[in-house]
Structure 1
Amino acid sequence: MSNHSWAYWAVLSAVFSALTAIFAKIGIQGVDSDFATLIRTVIVLLVLAAFVLFAGKWSNPLALSAKTWTFLALSALATGAAWVCYFRALQLGEASKVAPIDKFSLVLVALFAVVFLGERPSLCDWTGILMVAGGVLVLAFKR
């Protein structure tokens, strides 16, 4: 794989995230958003379990370190909370306003990466991050 194969996967992630908003907005009509999140989660679990098994990627989960378990559990809890909040926001608001605010996570990731991971974005990076933040404000709070 090339040094930029991550970009390919990141673009696919953006496409699937966009489709998630559209499909979810249609799918939650007339359904409680928390129940819809549960259904979505069960489907994700089944699909990922099948993928891991058929791709031969299964390994012994008991062999993972306590640190790995802790941070994967924290990530799972954060994901679950994000999904519950996202579906509730989609049920109550317009997808074209909810999604940009959700993508404010890009700005937060940059800030958290500096604080917790010691990353140091360049001036060019910070300029882009500030532009994203401004774009979120324009898209989410336009009148």
Structure 2
Amino acid sequence: MTSPAASWQLWALLSAAFAALTAIFAKVGIENVNSDVATFIRTCVILCALGAILVATGQWQPLNAISGRSYVFLVLSGLATGGSWICYFRALKLGDAARVAPIDKLSVVLVAVFAAAFLGERLSAANWLGVALICAGAILVAYRG
């Protein structure tokens, strides 16, 4: 029997919960702060917290043990994350958290499309229906009617 801590579903649900808290905390936190400064503060906190976790759990690995290809894609991922955070905080500064977050979650739809197009992943008809429903749901939640 596998441990619940080894379940990707558990970690995905925790990610969703933390993402929801991120939106709420960020919306309150950026009230009188430039969105880019807020993103910088958030990034510093993440860097320090993750560094502490790596050291405390002994998971640090030598940087020269990582392949060049991995570095390229991790740097690209970091740049994409930074772009996402900058845009997300600006959107939160300008809009309601309950409307910004669903549009941000259209990333789920884009991941499915990009994974199929660039990684060769295959989704079933039921999976694509789910993707379409996520898209429609995000639009409906964000709609101001």
Q: Same fold (TM over 0.5)?
A: yes
- Correspondent of 2:57 among 49, 55, 58: 55
Q: How far is the alpha carbon of 1:2 from its aligned partner?
A: 5.8
CA RMSD across the alignment: 1.2
Equivalent residue number for residue 17 of structure 2: 15
Q: What are the superposed Cα offsets for residues 82-106 of structure 1, whole Å, 9 maximum, x if unpaired?
A: 0000000000000000000000000
Matches within 5 A, 1:20-35: 20-35=22-37
Matches within 5 A, 1:1-143: 1=2, 5-143=7-145
Runs of 4+ aligned structure 1 residues displaced above 6 Å come to none
TM-score by length of structure 2 reads 0.96
Q: What are the superposed Cα offsets for residues 80-136 of structure 1, whole Å, 9 maximum, x if unpaired?
A: 000000000000000000000000000000000001110010000001000001011
Number of matched pairs: 143
TM-score by length of structure 1 reads 0.97
> How high is the sequence identity, in percent, across the aligned residues?
52
Unaligned ranges ≥5, structure 1: none
> Counterpart amino acid of 1:20?
T
> Counterpart amino acid of 2:98?
S
Unaligned ranges ≥5, structure 2: none
Distance 1:16 1:87 in 2: 16
